[in-house]
Each structure stands twice: as structure tokens, then as C-alpha cells.
């Protein structure tokens, strides 16, 4: 899995570098490569106007909505962890421009209003891990998914929570997450996840439960479990990015 992610990172970097730098590898401007396409003036000064135009042409049409995937899962469920770490996160890493991911940690848990608590399939540790991830999603926003991937891909989901947060969302203090899990906010977030899960139509009968653009079919879910990348590419209604059309297959093989 780590090898796959390293390949993904290499492919993305090489593609951007190739587009930006081909035919002009050493511009005389004073801007770093990451800034070359920030504006037309900078692109002209750095001599990469054509390359930047090519790069912009590969970006998704903002009018076309992304493929929205919602994962209803449990933090300690082996099948959920496998899907999140082996399919969902690697696919999102490559296709984040054309897909949106929503995570709903709750799964087969039950809300116990009379006790003001929750009961989880894998016991108290899972209830706590679910709440930690709900609090991370609330506090870390755009950086939450990498944090949760880091947790779910580790040997111990709970023990890895703090170092994963410090690594991928250093702007969020661990004390903020702890305070969330101990207070009303954490309970409220879990209640919201319970409501979302219970509102599913059709009702979920297992986890992971995966919806696409708010809809569920067993056919989509079966494909997602093994070839999510291909499924997202096929479902996107706009112009396919190069990574979908196979433009990077040669690069992928050269790195991996």
C-alpha cells in the first residue's frame, strides 16, 4: 500500500513537472516551479506560458459537478479499513479534482438516548475512535482525510490518532480533539452521523456502505471495492483528466 501511494505521488509530480517544464527546464525567473502558473505575467516571465496553458486545459470544468462518494463506516471494522486505505484514499489522491469524499463514522452503532451514549459493534474502543474521527473531520476540515487515512492504515487506530493529527493537520491541537470527544460537540457530531446513517434509503445492511452522488446500488459498491478508480473516471460527466484517459500509464510503469 505504501508503495502504491509513493507511485501515486511520483506520477502526479512528474506530470506537473513535465507539463510546466518541458522545453524550458531552467527558467531565468525568480519564482519557484510551484508558482509558475499562478498568473499569466509570471508564466510569461518564466517562459512557460504554453506549458501553463496546457496544464490549465487539463483541469476539470468547474460547471461539471464532481463524483460525490459518501462512505458510511466503522473505525475498527476490518472491511471498512481495507476499503478506505486501499481504494478510497489512493483514488482520491489521484482524482481529487473530480471527486468529493464524505466520511460518516458510525456504521452499525446504535444511539442510546436514555443513557446519552452509543453502543458500537466493536465495543467501547470503536465508539471512542468513531468520535475521534468525527471530531477530526469537524476540526481539521480539508486536512481531515489524510489524518483519518493515517489512523486507519496503522496497526492501532487510537494510538496513532495524535501523531497522525500532528503530522497531517499540525494547525489542530490534540487538546482540541480531546475536548471535542469529552464534551457536547463530540456527542452532537455522533448524533448527526447516526441521523445520516439511519436516513439511508435503502437502509444499510452492512459496512462499508458506499453511495455515489447520494445513491446506492450493489453494482456500484461491488465495483468500488475492487476498481474504484475506474468507476469514478467512468462516472465523471466532464472531460476526463489525463490520469483517467491513460496518458500517465507509461509514467506509472516507469516509476512502479
Q: Which three cell numbers stand for residue 163?
A: 501523531
**Residues 153, 85 share a domain:** yes
Is the same domain home to 109 and 181?
yes
Q: What is the pTM of this model?
A: 0.76
Render pLDDT for 96-129 as a digit per residue (tens, 0 to 9). Answer: 999 999 999 999 999 999 888 999 999 999 999 9
Task: Give φ, ψ of 209 to 5 degrees.
Answer: -120, 125
pLDDT at position 256 over 50 = no
Same domain, 106 and 122: yes
3-state secondary structure (DSSP) of residue 199:
coil
Could you tell me if residue 16 is inside a domain?
A: no
Average pLDDT, the chain: 85
Helix (H), strand (E) at residue 103: strand 99-105
SS3 call for 29: coil
CATH number of the domain that residue 125 is part of: 3.40.30
E-state strands within 181-236: 209-212
Looking at the DSSP assignment, which residues form a beta bridge with residue 56?
A: none
Residue 145: how many CB atoms within 10 A of its CB?
22
Does residue 25 have a pLDDT over 50?
Answer: no
pLDDT, one tens digit per residue, over 122-138 is: 999 999 999 999 999 99
Same domain, 108 and 52: no
22 within a domain of the structure (yes/no): no
Mean pLDDT of 144-156: 97
Which triple of cell numbers denotes residue 51? 506549458
Kindly tell me if the per-residue pLDDT of 254 is higher than 60. no
Residue 178 in domain: yes
Q: In this predicted structure, what is the pLDDT of residue 239?
A: 87
Indicate whether 40 and 136 sit together in one domain. Answer: no
| Res 31: pLDDT | 76
Are 52 and 108 in a shared domain? no
| Structural domain contains residue 256 | no
Q: Quick check: is 201 in a domain?
A: yes
Give the per-residue pLDDT at 14. 44
pLDDT band of 45, cuts 50, 70, 90:
confident
With 0-12 / 13-18 / 19 or more C-beta atoms within 10 angstroms meaning exposed / middle / buried, residue 140 is buried
pLDDT at 53: 65
Question: Is 23 among the domain residues?
Answer: no
Of 61-65, 167-171, 206-210, 233-237, where does mean pLDDT reach its minimum? 61-65
Cα 252 to its chain centre, rounded Å, is: 21
**Residue 87 predicted with pLDDT over 90:** yes
Can you give the pLDDT at residue 93? 92
| C-alpha cell at position 167 | 503530522
Q: Give the SS3 label for residue 191.
A: helix
How many CA atoms within 13 Å lie on the side-chain side of 222? 3
Q: Is the pLDDT of residue 54 over 70?
A: no
The 3-state DSSP class for residue 133 equals helix
pLDDT tens digit string along 157-203? 999 999 999 999 999 999 999 999 999 999 999 999 999 999 999 99
38 phi and psi, to 5 degrees? Answer: -70, -35
Residues 119, 180 share a domain: yes
Average pLDDT over residues 16-35: 54
In this structure, the answer to whether residues 58 and 80 fall within a common structural domain is: no
Mean pLDDT, range 43-63, rounded to an integer: 73
Within a domain: 39 = yes
**Main-chain phi, psi angles of 116, to 5 degrees:** 55, 45
Residues 57 and 169 in one domain: no
Structural domain for 37, as ranges: 32-63
Same domain? For 211 and 131 the reply is yes
Distance CA 129, CA 161 (A): 9
Phi, psi of 105 (to 5 degrees): -75, 105
Residue 225: pLDDT over 70 = yes
**How many structural domains are present in the chain?**
2
Identify whether residues 152 and 72 lie together within a single domain: yes
Buried/exposed 20-37: b ≥16 CB within 10 Å, e otherwise: bbeeeeebeeebeeeebb
Same domain, yes or no: 76 and 39: no
| 244 located within any domain | no
**104 has which bridge partners?**
72
Amino acid at each position: 500500500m505504501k508503495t502504491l501511494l509513493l507511485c501515486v505521488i511520483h506520477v502526479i509530480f512528474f506530470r506537473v513537472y513535465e507539463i510546466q517544464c518541458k522545453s524550458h527546464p531552467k527558467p531565468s525567473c525568480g519564482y519557484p516551479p510551484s508558482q509558475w502558473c499562478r498568473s499569466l505575467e509570471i508564466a510569461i516571465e518564466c517562459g512557460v506560458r504554453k506549458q501553463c496553458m496546457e496544464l490549465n486545459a487539463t483541469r476539470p470544468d468547474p460547471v461539471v459537478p464532481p463524483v460525490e462518494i459518501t462512505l458510511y463506516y466503522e473505525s475498527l471494522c476490518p472491511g471498512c479499513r481495507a476499503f478506505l486505505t486501499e481504494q478510497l484514499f489512493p483514488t482520491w489522491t489521484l482524482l481529487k479534482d473530480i471527486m468529493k469524499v464524505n466520511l460518516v463514522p458510525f456504521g452499525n452503532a446504535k444511539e442510546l438516548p436514555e443513557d446519552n451514549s452509543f453502543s458500537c459493534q466493536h465495543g467501547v474502543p470503536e465508539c471512542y475512535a468513531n468520535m475521534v474521527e468525527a471530531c477530526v473531520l469537524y476540526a481539521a476540515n480539508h486536512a481531515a482525510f489524510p489524518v483519518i487515512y493515517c489512523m486507519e492504515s496503522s496497526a492501532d487506530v487510537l494510538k496513532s490518532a495524535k501523531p497522525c493529527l500532528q503530522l497531517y493537520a499540525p494547525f489542530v491541537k490534540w487538546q482540541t480533539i480531546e475536548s471535542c470527544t469529552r464534551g457536547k460537540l463530540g456527542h452532537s457530531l455522533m448524533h448527526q452521523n447516526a441521523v445520516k446513517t439511519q436516513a439511508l434509503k435503502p437502509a444499510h445492511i452492512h459496512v462499508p456502505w458506499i453511495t455515489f452522488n447520494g445513491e446506492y446500488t450493489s453494482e456500484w459498491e461491488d465495483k468500488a471495492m475492487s476498481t474504484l478508480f475506474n468507476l469514478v473516471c467512468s462516472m465523471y460527466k466532464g472531460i476526463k483528466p489525463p490520469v483517467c484517459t491513460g496518458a500517465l500509464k507509461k509514467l506509472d510503469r516507469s516509476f512502479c
